[in-house]
Structure 1
Amino acid sequence: MTLASKFILAVTVLGSALLGGAASRQYKPTKTFAEQELVPQKAGGLPNCFPAIGFKMPLHIPHSVVNWWCDYDTEYAFMGFSYEVTACQSLEQLRQEFLDIRHTFKGRYVRLYGACDRNGFYDDIVDAAWRANLGVHALIWFGWDDPDIWKTRRDVLLAALHANPKAKFVTRVLQFGSEPLFDWALPPLDLAEQVKLAQENLTSLRIPVTISEMAWGYQFSEPRGSMKIMDQIDFIDAHMLPFFSTEASTADKSWPIVENDINWFVNNGRGKKIYLSQNGWPSTTYPGVEPNSPSAVADVSNEHDYYTLLDEKCSYFKTVGGRGIGWFAHIYSDNQEPGYGIYGKDGSLKFPFAPKIRC
């Protein structure tokens, strides 16, 4: 294993509060996915599948998700944005920004980051995603301030997925994260069991389950059983933050670092679909977001160069691993996480951003 794969990431403490009455909701498994159920069936080709650009939401909620989702193999190149929800955005703001992601950037997904413990918040996510024709990578956020808050968040989110009739039509996957292996959120075998229980709970909704983790998280936890998690998850939400590599310099020279970790996921990922879910390059440094290489450069130009580099690799992302890889931009706005946003704090684009969604 090379030093290039050893990302040392910043830890940001996010405040959270228990939802009133949430702990009383039951977490009841049903049955396990059959393997053939985990691969979406062909949906007649683009754009007649969700969430392809050009797809039109039906006037009425469908009866089944069969033939609803686009095939994994069509999901490569730019997918959408990580979107932090710690601010507990209003429904109006969610609707506005999800529509912006769809129409301005041709995003197909939002990948949630952080946590909002406001009652009914995931219903607002579903509402905004349905209106904008966006899929969602949902997240059970562990956090650091309360060792048990993730259990409440798990139960509340699972209940919402079952109770909201639109939820299964916009929720592509349920993630445990972020970086639960690197952060020692749970012992690896316990985390694998939580993935299994969530899969059993969501079988009737046909919602896959994964964790959101970097290669190094799996690698350094391997002696404690991290590959049991790789065996259990339905597909891979991988983190790619090459700025933190000990070999980082400028973004335009970061491809060997990126490719090294992609190769690890391809070689160890059991043939599963891969997305780069938390993926970016910061435009500034501050305490907690600091490089591990004296040559690493954080500025707006390098943030732009990183996404240009990925965009130029569209043909690679279309075929790598046999199923292609889709990548997200982390993150939507500097108001969500300073330095990482495509939008600055003033609401203006920091640089031109129009990555390819197919090639």
Structure 2
Amino acid sequence: MMPPRFGRLKNLQLVTDFVVSKDLRSSKISKLGQLSHHQGSFPSKLQSVVITNCNNLTPQKQWGLHGMKYLICFKIEGGCSEAELFPEEQLLPNTLTSIRISGFPNLINLCEGLHSLTSLKKLEIGCCVKLELMPKEGLYLNLHSRVITNCTNLMPQKKWSIHGMKSLTCIKIDGGCSKLVVFPQGVLPNTLTYLCIRNLQNLINLGEGLHSPTSLKKLKIKHCKKLNKLMPKEGFPLKLQSLFITDCESILPSTEWGLHGMKSLAHFMITGGCSTMELFPERGLLPDSLISLCISRLPDLKYLVNGLQHLTSLKKLGIDCCKKLELIQAKGLPAFLSSLRIRKCSLLALRCDLQID
């Protein structure tokens, strides 16, 4: 913990002898825009280091982080304005389980200092607009979770060696990747259970990228305006339990997706987009294993008919902000539906009292 009001020292340039307490567990250095030097060692039992908005401060070997046996969390956000490579080898200890690198304006290469982090479980990379390269030797195989946010020039590639990571279960990509049009096949590992892709403005084809993760259980796709191909040729992974699609203007749910035969799919949500769809769902679109269904902000949807009656497992149905929706056929609703929520559907006229026999 920093001394009281330490963050107000905007012109501080040097911090010496940082051993405040031998038993200190967490240290946070933030908003010291002129701080460029740190001398002296950190407390030996320190478990967490967070550096925020110290533009001129770049972690160095003489800090002694590499030898700290208890350090498990390292976050550096909004700084290192001159750094093009990070982290150098033997800068960080192999005890780290979580690292976040964010807001490096000139960072081009995540270098080999990451490969040696044998205990690393979670890696977050954000707002590094010039970042292009990952470590040549790849990342350590025990990585569980990877988050990439707003890295404009970064492109998912096979040479990242993600496919061989047997422990990697979660990947999130949010923004950036401006040149990515087709998500490459063979990048994602078959151990992946959760994939979230958001704000990839030029992505058109995700389908073949979903061929490999056979263990995928949850898929979220949001704000990918040009995306028009979602399904791989062989169909979605059979273990998929949740599929959420939000504001993908070029996507229309289709029986060609093969959802009807997916016995594990329990949750389906579609929000926004589908600007030409007046009727939902078409017959044979959804599987009878579905437990919850959410339909929201479909601007041209008029009729909710037919394709719901066979959903014998459906318990929860939500319909929100479908301003042109006129008709719900009550006799077509599943017999065991326990929750029906309808909000902001101004033209909706129920043709019966929705009593389910």
Q: Normalized against structure 2, the TM-score is what?
A: 0.26
Give the structure with the larger helix fraction: 1
Larger radius of gyration: 2
Which one has more relative contact order, counting CA pairs under 8 Å at least 6 apart? 1
Give the structure with the larger strand fraction: 2
